[in-house]
Structure 1
Amino acid sequence: MEFSVVDLPPEIKGEYKTIVELREDRLGLVVLDDRVLHIDVKTLEDDGAGANDWWHDRAISLPNFHWTMTGSVKGYVLLRGILRGYSEFWNFFENKPDAYYFTLDLKTFVIERLCMLEFDSLSDHLYASFPPPLSPPTI
């Protein structure tokens, strides 16, 4: 594992941002701005220092949801969408909206629907594999 400091582009707009590793020599900055995912890229030199400035690689339009980016791991970004008809201040004991989860594959930039769950802002977590106590034993 290596640690390095990277300056972000100054013109970034969007509430949700995450830095991801696209390849061995490239970092990606995924920014969620309303219903568009912006992906900026930066090439790294062998010593981990920035070789070039960030450049805008692509923008991906998203369906008409209230979007949040809930995490990234192992080449994927996890996105959550709630239908726009719901108020942001719904009653948590009645009329909970459905949360639609999607994955963004960072190799192909394809978005796929993962699942739909009843939204609960206090315990809204998804797991990509078994937690360590349930993992098979290894040597």
Structure 2
Amino acid sequence: MMERGGGTEDGDASAILIPLHEARRERLDLPVAFERRELDLILRLYGRMVAANEWRDYAIDHLTDRAVFSVYRRASEVPLFQIVKDPKLARRQGAFAVIAAGGRILKRGHELARVLGIFDTGLKLVKA
């Protein structure tokens, strides 16, 4: 006769889902990368900001622990903003963050679209 509850005392213990692409990346020691949908959101924002004459150049870095999309006003300067994907922070603070030029975290969260929403508020660079 089968036990009620599926044979485990705590039914939630086996309910941890790990995305297959994350498990493969960790096993093969591949660098963290932006997924197609994430990159699409970022590049749409980049296009709007280029059209508004705010941003001029970008760089994408796929590192072993995080992926970084850096935005520049000019290629020879430090990045104005960095959009970071850090899978290690996914369960706690959220995998995505927008970081300003001085290293200050402007917004962090679990959903990239919501984190990128910070640029919809008319965020401008202020020169000191």
More strand by share: 1
Q: Which has the larger radius of gyration?
A: 2
More helix by share: 2
